[in-house]
């Protein structure tokens, strides 16, 4: 019996290692088969896409790589290129200051808007990443608007300081009076702040040179700086106004509701350009004859109105999305209107509205280019006016518009990425 | 023994106006109304004073006076002797033309891009994402100006089409892209063309009737008729046959070089093309996002349920996903149409004579009647907005889920 084993030719004692999958079922080949060439239609789409990418790359690649950066006019660019395809980026190298700051802002003062721009991140940091920074840092955010005003417009430091102090006085009065009733607090705060500003108006006159930076009139501002200024100022002003309008529209007091509805629907029904026309040619008729509100301020007023109507609608959506139980729960706790809004309703409603608010803000920032239509020299206005109008750069469309598009893309894309990140951070439902 | 009595009538005190919820809302509304009235009368008083100071008044008489300027695209008869009112009507029509063209092409572009963004093909998906992000994040004004400079600076002059070996040639021998605009063939309606057109309209109706019949047959008897090729045949065949039987009554007039410029055909100006394309591509990117969001909003369970019933992927899309997705997609798309119409006012940046260019541009500058013209301009856009949102509400009511 023992030789039965010897009759068996071969018995494998260990398991074979697993054979690798076929070449077309692994690695990049599998990925290609599944993602790009899974069917005939898909293959055609892929080939079309490859052609499109190739076309774009061959059209723009050499143009960018051959770019000339150092000449002083378009004709010199053409001389350097000698008929080759190539961009004339020299216009950006030579006119970068005009593109960013406008053509009148004094050269030696560029550090001021740049510093204000850098501080913008310091101010926004605590607001945008509120989980990282302690709440105390929000003081930086509160001080920033006044500091930025001081840096960009210049003049005596007393104006922004007193403006800030006015708010502080208002808040102190509100804290005192709110114990009686919220309405009293609000009314008292507004009156106190205005009284303070009126009183200090007599002091700033004689102290015009106290710690003064060289003043820059607002009509000297331009370029991308103007777009940034309009965007930041109008969005931050329109948020509180938008919240008030949204609450007004939801209110059960008919007069306040109808004022809000008419305002919101009127503004949302007309294009921004017509509102800018109003700022440019009509608004002056409605102001006292002796007043001379400068154009940039009138534009800020109109864009803020425009933005707040849109933001109000977004927030109204957030308010409407809250379950009715939240309102009733707040009432049953005995909170009054102001408290229930502040503590229960608005935190939730604003959280829901974040994507919408960001959308409106990005849209508004893009719309700030429209001011070039009423002959203000923002980035687009600078390109169309002084730069393309100059004889040495007449005809450099691609480089300039491409640069403008790139600047806006960088800002808007980062804002939208941030908002998506924030949405994930604030997610409280279970997924 | 206790007796229930009414609580003592509280006498009215002034502080109740602000502290008592029964009276407080009246106080607030009264204050709001007073503030509004004061504000309005302040503005009105300023207006009266300013007008008196400048010796002006509010009057719409300028609308009846001759305008004295030319408009480069006139859908209705117009010359410089026509009135300002007629100039504004030309502008309104031009606005409607570009808004209509833009909405149609933005829809086509947006739906295509939105569906392709969900394609299983990685490359196409990424390409479409790049398109959407690139166009959504850059101001539409910049796109209008970029396309306008392509149309005016990068296109060949009409003289480049001249000679035996020209630098430029017409696409398909019919369409000429020049720096003065695009020339396309125009149809010439011969005798009998009316029959062809009517037949075509009838066959469009026929297609709908056929599809309705096929659906009804499917639901009643379960018999499935083919949909694709019969619809195509009904749509195309009768008109084509009639066209040849009647001896080709509709012909095309091709653009030709005459002197220094093209003659014949339809001339589409570069400004219209720039505005139309830029608005279409820009709004298309937004519509693509709406379409994608709408399709993704339908829960996966719907797809799986349909698949478990044995439906094929195409039918799942057509019968289960799209009908539900459309309900979500259409309202935001309509508000994109509204945005496109409002954005068409950027025409003024490239010199396309829409209502902002005529009424709010040249008429305003010539007559100096800022308040009247801007007010009319706003009312026009307001009217369009209200009309579109009215349509949207009608649609929403019609499509609302019929719940028990």
DSSP assignment of B329-385 = HHHHHHHHHHHHHHHGGGGGGTT--SHHHIIIIIIHHHH--HHHHHHHHHHHHHHHH
**Which neighbouring-strand residues pair with B183?**
B176, B267
B positions 346-375 inside 8 Å of A (CB): 346, 348-349, 356, 360, 364, 370-371, 374
Average pLDDT over residues A309-331: 89
Band (pLDDT 50/70/90 cuts) for residue B109 is very high
Look at residue A278 and tell me if it is in a domain. yes
The per-residue pLDDT for range A198-256, each reduced to its tens digit, is: 888 777 777 767 777 777 887 788 888 899 989 999 998 999 999 999 999 888 888 88
Q: Answer whether residue B253 shows pLDDT above 80.
A: no
Average pLDDT over residues B64-82: 79
Contacts 24+ apart (CB under 8 A), B239-248: B239/B196, B239/B199, B239/B200, B239/B203, B242/B195, B242/B196, B242/B199, B243/B196, B246/B192, B246/B195, B246/B196, B247/B192, B248/B190
Q: Which of A9-23, A359-373, A382-396, B57-71 has the highest mean pLDDT?
A: A359-373
Look at residue A118 and tell me if it is in a domain. no
Contact A405 B142 (CB under 8 A): yes
Look at residue A303 and tell me if it is in a domain. yes
If one compares A330 and A81, the residue with the highest pLDDT of the two is A330
The rounded percent of chain B whose pLDDT value lies above 90 is 17
If one compares A431 and B201, the residue with the highest pLDDT of the two is B201
pLDDT at B287: 93
Whether chain A has a CB inside 8 Å of the CB on B41: the answer is: no
Whether chain A has a CB inside 8 Å of the CB on B102: the answer is: no
Please report residues of B whose CB lies closer than 8 A to that of A274.
345, 356, 360, 374, 377-378, 381
pLDDT at A282: 85
Contacts 24+ apart (CB under 8 A), B208-217: B210/B234
Whether chain A has a CB inside 8 Å of the CB on B124: the answer is: yes
Please report residues of B whose CB lies closer than 8 A to that of A404.
142
Look at residue A96 and tell me if it is in a domain. no
Please report residues of A whose CB lies closer than 8 A to that of B282.
none
Q: Answer whether residue B404 shows pLDDT above 60.
A: no
The per-residue pLDDT for range A145-184, each reduced to its tens digit, is: 888 888 888 777 778 888 888 888 888 888 888 777 777 7
Look at residue A304 and tell me if it is in a domain. yes
Band (pLDDT 50/70/90 cuts) for residue B141 is very high
What count of Cα atoms within 13 Å lies in the side-chain half-sphere of residue A170? 16
The per-residue pLDDT for range B296-325, each reduced to its tens digit, is: 888 888 889 999 999 888 888 888 888 888
Whether chain A has a CB inside 8 Å of the CB on B397: the answer is: no
Whether chain B has a CB inside 8 Å of the CB on A409: the answer is: yes
Q: What is the CATH number of the domain that holds A310?
A: 1.10.3720.10
Contacts 24+ apart (CB under 8 A), B173-180: B173/B254, B174/B252, B174/B254, B174/B255, B175/B255, B176/B255, B176/B262, B178/B262, B179/B151, B179/B152, B179/B153, B179/B155, B179/B270, B180/B261, B180/B262, B180/B269, B180/B270
Q: Answer whether residue A24 shows pLDDT above 90.
A: no
Whether chain A has a CB inside 8 Å of the CB on B381: the answer is: yes
Please give, rounded to a whole number of angstroms, the shortest distance from the CA of A116 to a CA of chain B: 24
Q: Answer whether residue B284 shows pLDDT above 90.
A: yes
Look at residue A237 and tell me if it is in a domain. yes
Q: Identify the weakest region by mean pLDDT among A378-382, B25-29, B101-105, B265-269.
A: B265-269
If one compares B7 and A308, the residue with the highest pLDDT of the two is A308
Q: Answer whether residue A379 shows pLDDT above 70.
A: yes
Please report residues of B whose CB lies closer than 8 A to that of A401.
142, 145-146, 149
A positions 249-278 inside 8 Å of B (CB): 252-256, 259, 266, 268-274, 277-278
Band (pLDDT 50/70/90 cuts) for residue A429 is low
Please give, rounded to a whole number of angstroms, the shortest distance from the CA of B370 to a CA of chain A: 6
Q: Indicate the number of domains in chain A.
A: 2
The rounded percent of chain B whose pLDDT value lies above 70 is 93
Q: Answer whether residue B14 shows pLDDT above 80.
A: no
Band (pLDDT 50/70/90 cuts) for residue B227 is confident
Q: Identify the weakest region by mean pLDDT among B9-23, B56-70, B309-323.
A: B9-23
Average pLDDT over residues B69-87: 81
Look at residue A58 and tell me if it is in a domain. yes
Can you give the residue range of the structural domain that contains A277?
Answer: 220-423
B positions 281-310 inside 8 Å of A (CB): none
The rounded percent of chain A whose pLDDT value lies above 90 is 16
Band (pLDDT 50/70/90 cuts) for residue B102 is very high
pLDDT at A405: 92
CA-CA-CA-CA dihedral for B261, B267, B269, B270, to nearest 10: -70
Which domains, ranges and CATH numbers included, belong to chain B? 84-165+268-399 (1.10.3720.10)
Average pLDDT over residues B349-364: 85
Best mutation target, B58, B142, B336, to test chain A (most A CBs within 10 A)? B142
Average pLDDT of chain B is: 83
Average pLDDT of chain A is: 84
Please report residues of B whose CB lies closer than 8 A to that of A395.
153
Its pTM stands at 0.85
pLDDT at B244: 82
Buried b (16+ CB within 10 A) or exposed e, B252-270: eebbebeeeebeebebbbb
pLDDT at A37: 78
pLDDT at B9: 63
Q: Answer whether residue B200 shows pLDDT above 70.
A: yes
Look at residue A11 and tell me if it is in a domain. no
Buried b (16+ CB within 10 A) or exposed e, B196-207: beebbeebeeeb
Q: Answer whether residue A140 shows pLDDT above 70.
A: yes
Q: Answer whether residue B152 shows pLDDT above 90.
A: no
Average pLDDT over residues A346-365: 87
Band (pLDDT 50/70/90 cuts) for residue B64 is confident
pLDDT at A7: 67
pLDDT at B286: 93
Helix H, strand E, coil C: the string for B31-87 is HHHHHHHHHHHHHHHHHHHHHHHHCCCCCCHHHHCECCCCCCCCCCCCCCCCEHHHH
Q: Which of A34-43, B18-27, B89-98, B387-396 has the highest mean pLDDT?
A: B89-98
Please tell me the total number of residues recorded for chain B in this structure.
Answer: 404
If one compares B257 and A328, the residue with the highest pLDDT of the two is A328
Q: Answer whether residue B154 shows pLDDT above 80.
A: no
pLDDT at A6: 60
Q: Which of A40, A65, A90 is the last residue of a domain?
A: A65
pLDDT at A161: 82
Average pLDDT over residues B201-228: 85
């Amino acid at each position: 019996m023992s030789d039965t084993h010897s009759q068996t030719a071969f018995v494998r004692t260990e398991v074979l290692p697993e054979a690798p999958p076929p070449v077309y079922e692994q690695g990049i080949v599998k990925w290609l088969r599944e993602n790009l060439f899974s069917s005939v239609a898909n293959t055609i789409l892929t080939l079309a896409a490859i052609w499109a990418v190739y076309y774009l790359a061959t059209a723009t690649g050499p143009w960018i790589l051959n770019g000339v950066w150092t000449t002083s006019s378009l004709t010199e660019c053409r001389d350097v290129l000698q008929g080759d395809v190539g961009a004339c980026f020299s216009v950006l190298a030579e006119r970068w200051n005009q593109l960013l700051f406008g053509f009148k802002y004094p050269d030696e003062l560029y550090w001021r808007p740049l510093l204000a721009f850098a501080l913008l991140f310091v101010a926004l940091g605590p607001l945008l990443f509120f989980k990282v920074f302690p709440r105390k840092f929000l003081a930086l955010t509160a001080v920033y608007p006044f500091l930025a005003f001081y840096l960009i417009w210049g003049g005596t430091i007393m104006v922004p300081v007193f403006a800030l102090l006015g708010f502080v006085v208002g808040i102190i009065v509100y804290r005192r009076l709110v114990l009686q009733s919220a309405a009293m607090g609000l009314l008292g705060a507004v009156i106190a702040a205005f009284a303070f500003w009126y009183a200090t108006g007599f002091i700033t006159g004689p102290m015009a040179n106290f710690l003064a930076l060289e003043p820059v009139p607002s009509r000297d501002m331009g370029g991308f700086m103007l777009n940034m200024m309009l965007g930041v100022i109008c969005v931050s002003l329109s948020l509180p106004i938008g919240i008030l309008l949204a609450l007004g529209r939801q209110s059960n007091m008919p007069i306040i509701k109808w004022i809000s509805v008419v305002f919101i629907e009127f503004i949302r029904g007309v294009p921004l350009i017509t509102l800018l026309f109003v700022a440019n040619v009509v608004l002056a008729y409605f102001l006292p004859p002796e007043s001379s509100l400068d154009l940039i301020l009138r534009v800020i007023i109109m864009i803020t109105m425009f933005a707040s109507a849109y933001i109000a609608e977004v927030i109204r959506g957030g308010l409407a999305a809250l379950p009715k139980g939240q309102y009733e729960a707040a009432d049953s706790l005995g909170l009054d209107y102001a408290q229930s809004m502040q503590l229960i309703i608005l935190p939730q409603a604003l959280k829901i509205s974040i994507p919408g608010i960001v959308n409106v803000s990005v849209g508004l920032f893009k719309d700030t280019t429209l001011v070039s239509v009423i002959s203000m020299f923002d980035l687009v206005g600078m390109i169309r006016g002084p730069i393309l109008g100059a004889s040495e750069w007449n005809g450099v469309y691609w480089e300039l518009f491409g640069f403008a598009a790139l600047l806006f893309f960088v800002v808007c894309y980062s804002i939208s990425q941030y908002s998506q990140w924030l949405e994930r951070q604030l997610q409280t439902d279970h997924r | 023994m206790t007796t229930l009595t009414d609580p003592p009538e509280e006498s009215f005190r002034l502080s109740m106006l602000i502290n008592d919820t029964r009276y407080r809302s009246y106080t607030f509304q009264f204050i709001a109304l007073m503030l509004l009235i004061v504000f309005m009368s302040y503005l009105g008083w300023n207006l009266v004073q300013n007008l008196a100071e400048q010796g002006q008044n509010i009057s719409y008489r300028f609308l009846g006076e001759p305008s004295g300027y030319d408009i480069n695209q006139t859908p209705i008869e117009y010359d410089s002797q026509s009135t300002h009112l007629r100039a504004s009507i030309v502008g309104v029509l031009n606005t409607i033309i570009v808004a209509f063209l833009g909405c149609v092409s933005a829809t086509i572009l947006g739906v295509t891009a939105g569906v392709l963004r969900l394609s299983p093909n990685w490359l196409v998906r990424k390409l479409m994402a790049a398109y959407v992000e690139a166009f959504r994040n850059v101001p539409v004004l910049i796109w209008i100006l970029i396309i306008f400079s392509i149309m005016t600076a990068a296109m060949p002059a009409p003289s480049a089409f001249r000679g035996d070996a020209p630098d430029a040639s017409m696409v398909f021998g019919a369409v000429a892209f020049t720096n003065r605009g695009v020339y396309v063939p125009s149809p010439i309606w011969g005798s009998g063309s009316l029959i062809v057109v009517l037949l075509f309209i009838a066959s469009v109706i026929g297609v709908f009737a056929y599809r309705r019949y096929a659906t009804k047959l499917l639901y009643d008897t379960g018999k499935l008729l083919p949909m694709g090729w019969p619809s195509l045949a009904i749509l195309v065949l009768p008109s084509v046959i009639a066209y040849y039987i009647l001896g080709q009554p509709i012909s095309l007039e091709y653009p030709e070089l005459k002197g220094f410029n093209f003659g014949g055909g339809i001339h589409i100006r570069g400004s219209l093309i720039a505005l139309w394309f830029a608005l279409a591509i820009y709004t298309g990117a937004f519509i693509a996002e709406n379409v994608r969001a709408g399709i993704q909003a339908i829960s996966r369970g719907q797809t799986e349920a349909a698949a478990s019933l044995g439906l094929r992927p195409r039918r799942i899309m057509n019968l289960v996903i799209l009908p539900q997705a459309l309900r979500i997609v259409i309202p935001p798309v309509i508000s994109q149409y509204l945005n496109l119409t409002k954005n068409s006012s950027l025409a003024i940046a490239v010199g396309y004579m829409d209502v902002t260019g005529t009424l709010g541009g040249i008429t305003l500058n010539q007559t100096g009647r800022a308040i009247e013209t801007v007010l009319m301009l706003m009312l026009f856009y307001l009217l369009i907005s209200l009309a579109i949102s009215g349509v949207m509400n009608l649609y929403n009511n019609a499509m609302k889920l019929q719940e028990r």
